[in-house]
Every structure is written in C-alpha cells, then in structure tokens.
Structure 1
Amino acid sequence: MTTPATQGDCRLDPDLRVIVSERRQLINLAYRLLGSLTEAEDVVQETYTRWYTLSRQQQEAIESPAAWLTRVAGRICLDLLGSARVRREHYVGEWIPEPVPDRGEWISGWPDGFTTDPADRVTLDESISMAFMVVLESMTPAERVAFILHDVFRYSFAEVAEIVGRTPAACRQLASSARRRMRASRAAATPAARQADTVRKFKEAWEARDIDALVGLLAPDARGIADGGGLVSAVLRPMEGGEHIARYLVTIAELAPGLVFLERTVNGQPGLMVEQDGAIVVVMAFDVAGDRVKHLWAVRNPDKLRSWAG
C-alpha cells in the first residue's frame, strides 16, 4: 500500500495526487470547526492516517474519496468540539480562536518532498474573520458543524446528516439556529479600506500613547479580550468600555518600552502584530463598526502565535 512515508513524489501515483489535493479543503474545514490551526493539522493528519490504514480493496470500494475524507474529518472535529468545551472550562483566562496570518505553510508530520504548495493555506474570506470565529464559539458542536458544512462549504443536509449523526431535517434546524446566532451578533460590514484606516490610526495613537486619540477610535461600549492561556500575562476577564481599554493599552506601552507595532492582515481583516526584542508578543484582531473599534481580541498565548513566526 502506498503511504506518505513510502511515496516521495505524489506525481507517480495519480490516486495519491487526488487524495493529497483534498488537504486544503480539509485544513479549511477543520480550522473553521475548531478555531485552532494546530488542532486542524492534527485532524487532517489523523484523517489521512485512517485512509492509509485501509486496504487497497477498501480504498477502491469508496466511490468518492473526497467525500469520505470530509466525513471522517468532520466526525473527528465533532468529537474534539465536545471535549474542547471541557478543556476550556479549565483554560486560564479567556479563550480566543487561533489567529491566522495572510500567508504561511501550515504543514506538519509530512516527509520532505511530500508537500503541495497551495494545499496548506487557509482561505481568507468573511467566514474566517475573528468576529465570525468568535460567534462560532457560542454554538453547540452540532450547530457549528451543520452550519459550517452547509452554509460555508455548501454540503447538502443529507451529507451533513452522515457526519453529525442526525436526520437531514434535524441538521436543517441546527443550521437555522446557528444562522440566527450569527445574524444577531453581526453588524453591518465596514469596507476594508475604512477598516484599515481605523486600524492604522489606532496603531499610531497607541505608539504615541495618546489616550484621547485612542478613546476617540474606540466605541464607548467597546469590548476587549486578551488570551494568554496562563503562559504569559494577560487580563483574565473582558475589558469593557473604550476609555478603560485605552488607558490599559497606554499603560502597557509605558511598562514595556521598545514595542514595535506592525500592520498585518489577521484572519483576512486589518489587524496588528506587536513585537518586543524581535519576538512576536501579541497579534490583535479588530471588529470595526463605522470609524470605531467595537471589539478587539489580543492573542498573547505563544502556542497560538507559531504560524506568525518566520
């Protein structure tokens, strides 16, 4: 049986090429379902492991390998979402989805020479924004899987039912409930150029330690959340109010001189990356409404910043 460990060049095996070509789809699916690139990689690796443990006869009996891989990955994610809720009850502070840069090669566990360039990138669209990902965290595992598979990846409810283990009608209800959650929490979209301008002004005000400018850029009822995971210092509870957030940010800048603020794309939206002594110490995502920041998410947990290094 051909496996990644024994096959160095997928061009020699057309069937292997087809299987490997699904990696990008699986990474995109698993990240949206789990909110973690690290866990998404593990899911995809486990999915391929299960494929390669099948006999050649079993593989040939599968009418659609792509559909089989998706079903397996979806079921693994569904199981992980259930256990993740328990794990996050013991998480130190707030948990924020892992931020995704606008470029990168997220591949692990594969031998040299067995990579495919476009297959390891998360597609950046509106279903990957931090605001979108945060709302997904409020859904039940079944709601999240049904919604992502149907509304984002356009699988039929009959196909979703095979993964979730419920009837198509029940999956339709799950997706409908998830859709209501999403609509209730999402404001009118702000054009990307306008978002970028607001984030740039925010960066400049933070660099200048200008509290008044920051207050003017933050909505009065702005909400800020930081994620340190107990590995680095971070506020353990959400910060409420634009003035409170502004004063906290200026205090950070005063206590940690030498911070370098860089504009970066975070989950497909204008965001910031902060470095200290050449090391990335925070990646910040924003939800901009009009010309003001409504929400900001600051990821400090170094385990969630690995894809930003290099």
Structure 2
Amino acid sequence: MEAVESLAELLDEREHLLEIARWRFGSPATADRAVQETYRRWYALDPLERAQIAEPRAWLAQVAGTISLDGLEPDEVDPLVHRFALACTTGDVRALRATLAEDATVITDAGGNLRTSPHPLRGADQVAAYVSTLLTRRPGANLTTEPVNGHPGLVLRNRTQAIAVITLTTTPTHIATVYIVLNPKKLTPWHVS
C-alpha cells in the first residue's frame, strides 16, 4: 500500500510540475522538457544536499517555474533545427537552403486568412525562397526552437502572440518537410502570457 501511495504522490507531483511549466512556456512539449530538466537537477544533487531541502515539492516547483531551457543538451536534430532557425532569423537564403533536402516540401495552413501558396511547394530552392520570404525579418518578432507535437519545430511570436508554428520532419542530415501553421485559430494554444 505504501508503494502505491508513493507512486500516486510521484505522479501527482509530476502533473503539478507540468502545470507550472505549461503555464510558463505555453507548450506541452516544452513543459515536458522543462520537467525532465527539473528532475535531472534534483537527482544531480548529492544525498546530503537533497536531505537539507525541507520541502522537496516546493523546491521542484520553484525550479520548474524559473528554469531556462537555453543551453540544455540538444537532441540529435537540434543542431539542424538551430541552423534552420538562424538562417530564418538572419534571412540567409543560402544557409537556409543548405539545411533542406533536395526534394524538400513546404506546406502552409493559413486557414484562408492569408495569401499563401494553395499547394505544397517542392524542391530546396523553392522552399528556401518561400520560407525566407514568409518568416524572416519581421520587426519585433522572435523565433524560438520548440518541440511541436513531438517533432522538432519553431514558434514565431510577436511578444506574446504566436504568428506562426513550424513543424519540421527530418532525415539524418536534412530537413525533408516544413509545415507552417499561420491559421490564427490554430495558433491560440501557442500564445504565452
């Protein structure tokens, strides 16, 4: 019975931390990453340090609420995603193209609210030019790398409002598909407070 109570407490604690991180980051996938990092920091403490923490739940909640995801260990595709994001931010079409597979595809979902290509565009040159035009040099906008529905991705925000959410599918060496959501109705969950 005691083990079951401990497991229930552990699951309750994790859900509590996820709620804090979701509130902070606005993205379930990013929240999960923040909670993983919170637990990593807890277990990195030596037993004496942990024993001196009077309220472990409060300590974990504080870490989850103040954690910065900058500088965390990237997964295998993060360097490619970061190169893509940097090329978008700087408007470097050549560098953007270098991240793309030759047969790369871009698909845009604007929900009929913006003029975008009605059909997927194919080929690294076309995709690079299109993505560069759509995402680069937006005054006041900030492009961040974030997991999107379990895939590598980016979120373009103007302060707290999401402007675009980009999902990337990758091969071991290149980006194969760029899926850009511009539909305001689908962007609401990506706004941050």
**TM-score, shorter chain, exceeding 0.5:** yes
CA distance in 1, matches of 2:187, 2:181: 8
Shift of 1:268: 1.4
> Is 2:191 aligned against 1:303?
no
Alpha-carbon distance in 1 for matches of 2:91, 2:107: 20
Counting only pairs closer than 5 Å after superposition, residues 166-181 of structure 1 correspond to structure 2 as none
Q: How does 1:50-89 map to 2 (within 5 A)?
A: none
Partner of 1:273: 155
> CA distance change for structure 1 residues 103 and 214 in 2, over 3 Å: closer, same or farther?
closer
Name the amino acid aligned to 1:279.
Q
3-state SS in 2 of match to 1:250: helix
Structure exhibiting the larger radius of gyration computed from Cα positions = 1
**Which TM-score applies when normalising by structure 2?**
0.58
Deviation at 1:229, TM superposition (A): 0.8
Runs of 5+ consecutive residues of structure 2 not aligned to the other structure: 1-26, 32-73
SS in 2 for 1:266: coil
Could you tell me which residue of structure 1 aligns to residue 172 of structure 2? 290
How far apart in 2 are the matches of 1:203 and 1:243?
17
How far the C-alpha of 1:255 sits from its partner, in A, is 6.6
Give 1:250 shift. Answer: 2.0
Q: Residues 298, 101 of structure 1: CA spacing in aligned structure 2 closer, same or farther, 3 A cutoff?
A: farther
TM superposition shift of 1:206:
1.0
How big is the shift at 1:295? 0.6
Please identify which structure carries the higher strand content: 2
Q: Classify 1:254/1:267 alpha carbon distance in 2 versus 1 (closer, same or farther; 3 Å).
A: closer
Identical aligned residues as a percent: 28
Q: Provide the residue aligned with 2:125 in structure 1.
A: 243
Moved over 3 A (4+): 253-258
Counterpart amino acid of residue 249 in structure 1: V
CA distance in 2, matches of 1:301, 1:259: 17
Change (3 A) 1:257 1:249: farther
Give the structure with the higher percent helix.
1
Deviation at 1:277, TM superposition (A): 4.8
The corresponding residue for 2:38 is none
CA distance 1:292–1:204, change in 2 (3 Å):
same
Equivalent residue in structure 2 for 1:229, among 96, 101, 111: 111
What is residue 99 of structure 2 aligned with on the other side? 217
Q: TM-score, normalised by structure 1?
A: 0.37
Match of 2:49 in 1: none
Structure 1's unaligned 5+ residue stretches are 1-99, 105-191
